[in-house]
Amino acid sequence: MKQFLSLFAVVLISTASLFAQTIVGTDPENKNVVLEEFTGIYCGFCPQGHAIAQAIYDAHPEDVVLIAIHTGGYADPNPGHPDFRTDWGSPIAGQSNLAGYPAGTVNRHLFPGWGQNSGGTAMSRNYWTSASNQILAEPSYLNVGAEAIIVSSTRQLAVYVEVYYTGDSPQETNLLNVAVMQNDIYGYQSGGGSNYRHMHMLRHLMTGQWGAEITETTEGSLYSGAFTWEMPEDIRDIDLVMEDLDIGAFVSETHQEVVSGILANITIIESNEYDAAIYNAELPQTLCSDELIPVVTLKNYGTVNLTNLEFTYSINGGEPAVYSWTGNLAQNATEQVELPAYAFIPSDNNFVSINCSQPNGQTDQLPYNDNFSAKIPGSQTFPEHCYFGVQTLGDPQGITWNITDSEGNIVAEGGPYDDNTLQLTELNFPETGCYNLTLNDASGLGLDGGFYVITDESYDPVWMGGDFTYVAKAELAHGMVVEVPELPSAEDITVYPNPVIRSASIEFSLNAKTRVNATLYDVTGRSIMQLYDGEMNNGAQNIHMDVSGISNGIYFVRLRFNDKIITKKVMVAE
């Protein structure tokens, strides 16, 4: 449901009324359907799948969310044809164990005997209707409510979601996903012609690949969250038309098993007079020092020039610090603001919260872009002698980096480079302390699919950095212990056999219940397969890794234990 409001109407209707709490029902309801359809422009039978999915929606328009995901070989366009793929589709399809197209999952649920492959959630189109009817008849232990607002002049999308638990979830944490779909995209489709009408096409996931964490999942719990996205004019040269969007919000127990979801009510407005936003924040990816200097990018989306603003920020729930900013920002202008240093005691898991408010002393008319929060793990302790490695798939001449001590003295540096091979530089930490890594990419593409890593003397990875654009930072501890929980170390994890022939076991032990994620990557940093994601109890653990069908070569198993990441190198051989 979309509503269109004039600028005059916006003056009369506040943003708070558009996102009025509570928007979610508290009485027990049945589950809603989330049908993820895997399709492609060269799939001749996919229009039949599109029609079946649309019929399911038409029969239950208030209870069905359709997400058409263009992925796989049938979606890889030839010259002159549209590219409807996204960065999100391949991992979602990969976990479904699909065997042909069109394929679809209904709430990512395993329906025995209906999967295209044994143990897979992907089904052929003839099962979608029966599977949907089965889901719609099942009681849900949670309800989802969602409202969205689009500011057309600044292309902002803000989504407010509430989840109410009418019962207990079997998982201590759940995942909220907010998906952006687009209708009425015309382009080639095998079996449908050169000007086929594509509907419900996935364009973006506002909550990332697998969603935002919900930590209170017992009966009576109410979760609320706001998410924003400045929409580009196009994605892969396909226009992103604001008036043609659907917004779906759904909750999954893990990366699989969707509980329920809903389509958001969407309101489109023209602009706001007072709308300041924290567009981005420059923070280290790991911490070990006892103070932090946040650098935020402030953006003015309002039509009135922004001249003053209040920042409030804290770390680990400490006493909030307040900083008054003054300047002069026209609409859509940005400025980097360095906030005063905040003293705190670093731990294994640090929570940073930053808020801006009172633009020009007025109430912000779109408060859902005023907040920034992040969890930053404490740094692991690195050996005295190691290597820093960086590889980009983009322009190597745009890459520079350095590691400095607490006094700003450079202990290692590198770049720019001449080629895209893995560049390894010896790194020696001269004494106990907290060191600072700064990595710059002049292109703003964040190595364009490459990676950066610290290895031990045997070139085995001990840490890999995360995604970034122009600048990445991390604090690196040597001779210091920041982690509090007794989580496995690299020496505690065994991959056997290694080299791996067809399959191997990843073995380790846990001292307490721990969230574990295991993913296999190739040497370019591309995700090959997810091996495990979920909670494990204390005791000995074993993750099975099946590499049959994977090319011979060097790979990395990346294991995340809560917020600690360990990488193990493996060799796949026949």
Coil, strand or helix: which one is 553?
strand
Q: How far apart (Å, rounded) are the C-alpha atoms in residues 297 and 308?
A: 14
Distance in angstroms (rounded) separating the CA atoms of residues 546 and 504 = 7
**Length of the chain counted residue by residue:** 574
Whether the CB-CB separation of 538 and 510 falls below 8 Å is answered with yes
Superfamily per CATH, domain 2-269:
Immunoglobulins (2.60.40.10)
Distances (CA, A) of 462 to 389, 459, 490, 498: 11, 9, 7, 18
At residue 237, the pLDDT reads 96
> Secondary structure of 81-101 in the HEC alphabet?
CCCCCCCCHHHHHHCCCCCCC
DSSP state for residue 134 in the 8-state scheme? H
Q: For residues 291 and 280, give the distance between their C-alpha atoms in angstroms, rounded to a whole number.
A: 20
**Hey, what are 315's tokens?**
């770390």
Cβ proximity of 477 and 348 under 8 Å: no
For the chain, the structural domain boundaries read 2-269, 279-377, 385-478, 490-572
Residue 87 CB coordination number (10 Å): 12
> Which CATH code for domain 385-478?
2.60.40
Q: Please name the CATH architecture into which domain 490-572 falls.
A: Sandwich (2.60)
Digitized pLDDT (tens) for each residue of the chain, 574 residues in all: 444 333 323 322 333 344 445 799 999 999 999 999 999 999 999 999 999 999 999 999 999 999 999 999 999 999 999 999 998 999 999 889 999 999 999 999 999 999 998 889 999 999 999 999 999 999 999 999 999 999 999 999 999 999 999 999 999 999 999 999 999 999 999 999 999 999 999 999 999 999 999 999 999 999 999 999 999 999 999 999 999 999 999 999 989 899 999 999 999 999 999 999 999 999 999 999 999 999 999 999 999 999 999 999 999 999 999 999 999 999 999 999 999 999 998 888 899 999 999 999 999 999 999 999 999 999 989 999 999 999 888 888 999 999 999 999 999 999 999 998 889 999 999 999 999 999 999 888 877 778 899 998 888 888 888 778 889 999 999 987 654 445 666 678 888 888 888 788 898 888 777 888 888 887 766 778 888 888 787 778 889 888 877 888 888 888 888 767 788 888 888 6
Task: Give CATH for domain 279-377.
Answer: 2.60.40.10
Map residue 4 onto helix, strand or coil.
strand
The CA distance from 512 to 488, in Å, is 11
The strand pairing partners of 310, in sequence order, are 324, 357
Distance CA 412, CA 430 (A): 11
Look up residue 51 and give its DSSP letter.
Answer: H
In this predicted structure, what is the pLDDT of residue 12?
29
Residue 59 in 3-state DSSP? Answer: helix
pLDDT at 563: 62
Q: Do domains 279-377 and 490-572 have the same CATH topology?
A: yes
Do the Cβ atoms of 17 and 136 come closer than 8 Å? no
pLDDT for 17: 40
Per residue, what are the HEC states of 408-424? CCEEEEECCCCCCCCEE
Q: What is the pLDDT of residue 391?
A: 86
Give the pairing of strands 295-300 and 276-282.
antiparallel
Q: What is the pLDDT of residue 525?
A: 65
Using CA atoms, how far residue 296 sits from 336, 340, 448, 491, in Å, is 6, 11, 23, 38
Place of tokens 């189109």: 125
